[in-house]
Amino acid sequence: MKKLVVYFSATGVTEKVAEIIKKTVNSSIFEVTPEVPYKDSDLKWLNPLARCNKEKIGRKDVPIARNIDNMRDYGFIFLGFPIWYYNAPNIIYTFIKGHDFSEKKIALFATSDGSDIEKTAEKLKSVLGESAHIVGAKRFYESTSREVIAEWARQMLEQ
Ligand SMILES: Cc1cc2nc3c(=O)[nH]c(=O)nc-3n(C[C@H](O)[C@H](O)[C@H](O)COP(=O)(O)O)c2cc1C
């Protein structure tokens, strides 16, 4: 089964986790990027006028620079993102809507400063579709060791 790590990362923390998973499971990797890149001021999450807040409150789709053309080639997807407002960033929802996850196994991973991933995984489940099979969901911190991440990734492939 071909594997793919897909991730969005605004400040590089999730990206590091994604790279560790990629190396561990020997997969391809794809970065989800917005058409309009986030500036530092867009990420000031306590500022109601910042872009991140407007996207969340307005439930806005976030146009993506490039989609994955060959999704059908992959059977196992690791999908990663930072937790934003106790949820996945809107760009992840936009990404999911633009791709077909039927019959795929999916392992969700996130990084955050404290919030967990369980409720987010529940929300994503309905967007990913009935026949997508979420095999696990795990939140890591910036300080989580490479070994812990690698061990989790290996476990996911056995599900
Ligand atoms: C817009 C925004 C909202 C955030 N909301 C949360 C949150 O609800 N809970 C939390 O623990 N951390 C929150 N964070 C912190 C990030 O989840 C954390 O720093 C993450 O590791 C960043 O990953 P990245 O570098 O891959 O973007 C938020 C950060 C931003 C920019």
pLDDT tens string 25-44? 999 999 999 999 999 999 99
Ligand 1 and 43: CB distance under 6 A = yes
Residue 81 domain boundaries? 3-157
| Å from CA of 81 to ligand 1 middle | 9
Backbone phi and psi for residue 52, each to the nearest 5 degrees, phi listed first: -60, -40
Query: In total, how many domains does the chain have?
Result: 1
Q: Report the C-alpha gap between 59 and 78 in whole angstroms.
A: 24
DSSP codes of every residue in 83-109: -BTTB--HHHHHHHHTS--TT-EEEEE
- Ligand 1 atom nearest to CA at 81: 26
Ligand 1 and 9: CB distance under 6 A = yes
The reported pLDDT for the residue numbered 30 is 98
Q: What angle do CA 56, 84, 52 make, to 5 degrees?
A: 45
pLDDT (mean) for 16-33: 98
Whole-model pTM over 0.95:
yes
Residue 18 sits in a domain whose CATH number is: 3.40.50.360
